Structure formats: structure tokens, C-alpha cells
Amino acid sequence: MPADRILIVDDEDSIREVVSSMLSSSGFVCTQAQSGREALALLQSGEEFELMLSDMMMPVMDGEALLAATKERFPDIPVVMVTAMHDISIALNAIRNGAYDYLLKPFDREQLLATVRRALENRRLKLENRKYQTELESLVTARTEQVRQALASLERSYDITLEALGNALDLKDAETEGHSKRVTAFTIAIARAMGISSDQIRVIARGAFLHDIGKMAIPDAILRKPGALDPEETAIMREHCYRGYQILRRIPFLTEASEIVYSHQEKFDGTGYPRGLKGEQIPLGARIFSVADTLDAMTSDRPYRAKLPLSAAREEIDKWSGRQFDPQVVKIFLEMPENIWDDLRRGIDEQIHRFAAYSAGKM
């Protein structure tokens, strides 16, 4: 993998050389610029950099002006400002204006390397997240315009948070690896087919993705038990709906989604849990999720059985219409093209495998 390229901007030759030496000795490729204007010219020439370290106080174009121009034209390049102690208020203002971090002079090699590595890791996560979102949207676009618009509602600004929560659950409950991503895509597809607004789909998608987050609070001995749960264990397992609701409801952008998490085990006829909600008492997102969840569960391999064909899942969902499932949701689901589900599953599973292979290569 090629080394990360860093642009070092400072009007003092000695400082540029020291910083460049520190970074080069740790495997980074460094380019120097003695002014903000020279640095901007390098960026505009097409030369690519993963990070820029810029002094604050420079003649011609100072660090603040360089930061503003860089964030406007090259927003993917994180900028770390370098400043003297008496300029710290200026550095803090630079962070408010888009700088990733700042270093106070004089700094040592370990401080420099730690800050650089944090900035590069932050950039990597943002780019990976954008790539994942783009691939997911492209997959759905290729199959159906309805699903494309639904998946576009998974806003990139929240993906890092949601991905971290979902991946944490997958680590705890490995049996269902990829389940959260698949059931989210299935839920979005049905919601879009029902003509639900993009704003509401965003809420539903978050609730679907995080539906089992409450299992983080369930003991591993119960969550990973190979056999059937006893009544006491079943009662504890059923707490995951409320636990998930408690985790999410105080997070502003997940407040509405938390109601779906709370209700995702309710049944249309009122026989579900934890509150025994019935019919339209159950949030619409939870009613849609219920169909998508059953579809994924039946068409996925489990330790105790092989996956079932789509036809069996369709038959089972139709059979339980009006009891477990909302009849209107079932009607829309059965009218949708059957190839959508295999296409979504295949595409998402490929993304998971590619990401796993990439992550293993980075370690």
C-alpha cells in the first residue's frame, strides 16, 4: 500500500526540515511549501495529499486563509494547524472553521506522529464510509428506481455512528453477521414501494439497522446459548427491545427510530412483546421491518437449519398476514419483483466480504 503523502507548509526552512525528517523516518512521503500561496498552487496542480500540516503565521497567505481555501476546494484533505502557545485562540478558531486539530510549538516526535495518525485515520473512515454509501446506492439504482431513492436516504453524516453500533452488535452476535445491513435494505425497499416519504424512510432505516442494539445489554451466556432458552432466559432476552429503546431515545437524531426499536417484536394482532401493541398502535416502520426481518431470517443460513427458498418465505408471510404482519405491508411486499431480494442480498454480502478482506489487509 503506498505511503501517505503529507504537505508541510511553513515559512521557516528549519521547521519544515525538522517536521519532514520526523515524518519521513516513519514512512510518510513529505512535500514542503514555504507559503500558503505555494501550498495552494501545489494542490491546484493536481498533486494529491492525504494530509496538510500548516503554520498559522505566514506572510502573503497565512494559515487561516490557506485553511479556508483548502476546505472549499479540497474538503477531503484534513488540515492540522501548527501554532505557538500565544496563538492558541487563533488555532481554536481554525478548528471551528474546519481544521482537524492543532499542534503547539514546540512539539516532540511522538506528539506529531500521534496527531498525524489520528487525522489520517479519520480521513480513511470518512472515505470508506462514502465508498460504502456510494456502492450501496449504486446497487439499488441498478435494480429499481424505487429502492435507489430509499437507500439514498441513509445520510452519510450519520453512517459512521450507525456502522459502529451495528458492527459492535455483529461482534457480539456473530450468527447474524450482515443481518442488520440486509434487513435495512429490505425494509427500505418495501417502504419505498409503499410511497413513504424520504424523510420518514430515513427514520425507518435507522430503526431497522439498529433494531437489535439492545442485545448489547444481554449476557453472552444467553445470547450465544446453543440450545433453547428457559423461561427466565427468554424473559431476559425479551428485554432487548426496551434496552435498545433506552440506548437510543436520548440521541436526538435517533429519537424517532428508537420507537421502531422498541416495537420491532410487536405483532399486528397484539400478541407480540414487550407492550402487546396492536394494529396501527405499532409504528409503521416496525410493521414494515417485521416483514423484512422474517424475509431475511427465513432466507439466511442458520446453525440449526439451511436457508429456505424465497417462495417459502413469501408463503409464510402471506399465511401470517393479519396476525403477525400488517396486511397492507404484506400486499405491497407480495407485489414487488422477486429478483430484488436476491440482488440486494448478493450485493450487500459482497460488500461485507470486501470490507472484511480490506480490514484484514490493513492489520
Q: How confident is the model at residue 24 (pLDDT cuts 50, 70, 90)?
A: very high
Say whether both 302 and 355 belong to one domain.
yes
Q: What residue numbers bound the domain in which 21 lies? A: 5-122
Task: State residue 39's pLDDT score.
Answer: 94
Confirm whether 277 is domain-assigned: yes
Q: What average pLDDT does the structure give for the chain? A: 85
Q: Is the pLDDT of residue 358 over 60?
A: no
> If we measure between CA atoms, which residue out of 292, 329, 319, 294 comes closest to residue 308?
294
Say whether both 118 and 167 belong to one domain.
no
Instruction: Specify the DSSP class assigned to residue 325.
Output: B
CATH of the domain at 38: 3.40.50.2300
Task: State residue 162's pLDDT score.
Answer: 65
| Residue-wise burial string across 186-200, b where 16 or more C-beta atoms lie within 10 A, e elsewhere | bbbbbbbbbebeeee
Task: State residue 308's pLDDT score.
Answer: 92
Which of 122, 152, 177 is the last residue in one of the domains?
Answer: 122
Q: Which of 75-84, 132-141, 286-295, 313-322 has the lowest average pLDDT?
A: 132-141
| Structural domain total, the chain | 2
177 vs 326, higher pLDDT: 326
Say whether both 109 and 178 belong to one domain.
no
Tell me the C-alpha distance between 174 and 88, whole Å.
47
Say whether both 116 and 265 belong to one domain.
no
Task: State residue 142's pLDDT score.
Answer: 64
Confirm whether 149 is domain-assigned: yes
- What integer is the mean pLDDT of 46-65? 90
Q: Is the pLDDT of residue 362 over 70?
A: no
Cell 433506552 sits on residue: 246
Which of 91, 122, 153 is the last residue in one of the domains?
Answer: 122
Strand partners, 82: 55, 103
Q: How confident is the model at residue 170 (pLDDT cuts 50, 70, 90)?
A: low
Confirm whether 92 is domain-assigned: yes
Confirm whether 352 is domain-assigned: yes
CATH of the domain at 185: 1.10.3210.10
Say whether both 255 and 209 belong to one domain.
yes
Say whether both 269 and 301 belong to one domain.
yes
Q: Which of 11-15, 54-58, 165-169, 195-199 has the lowest average pLDDT?
A: 165-169
Task: State residue 176's pLDDT score.
Answer: 56
Say whether both 112 and 241 belong to one domain.
no
Say whether both 164 and 56 belong to one domain.
no
Task: State residue 290's pLDDT score.
Answer: 97
Say whether both 263 and 302 belong to one domain.
yes
Amino acid at 25: S
Tell me the C-alpha distance between 159 and 39, whole Å.
32
Say whether both 233 and 302 belong to one domain.
yes
Confirm whether 21 is domain-assigned: yes
pLDDT tens digits, residue range 97-143? 889 988 888 888 999 999 999 999 999 988 888 887 777 766 666 66
Confirm whether 128 is domain-assigned: no
At residue 332, the 3 state secondary structure works out as helix
Say whether both 116 and 247 belong to one domain.
no
**Of all residues in the chain, what percent carry a pLDDT higher than 70?**
83
Q: Which long-range contacts (CB under 8 A, 24 or more apart) does 293-298 make?
A: 293/183, 293/211, 293/264, 294/324, 294/325, 295/186, 295/333, 295/341, 296/179, 296/182, 296/183, 296/186, 296/345
Confirm whether 131 is domain-assigned: no
Say whether both 92 and 195 belong to one domain.
no
Cell of 169: 452488535
Tell me the C-alpha distance between 311 and 90, whole Å.
64
Confirm whether 305 is domain-assigned: yes
DSSP H or E run through 84: strand 79-84
- What integer is the mean pLDDT of 333-351? 88
Q: What is the dihedral of CA 257, 263, 265, 266, to 10 degrees?
A: -150
Tell me the C-alpha distance between 187 and 181, whole Å.
10
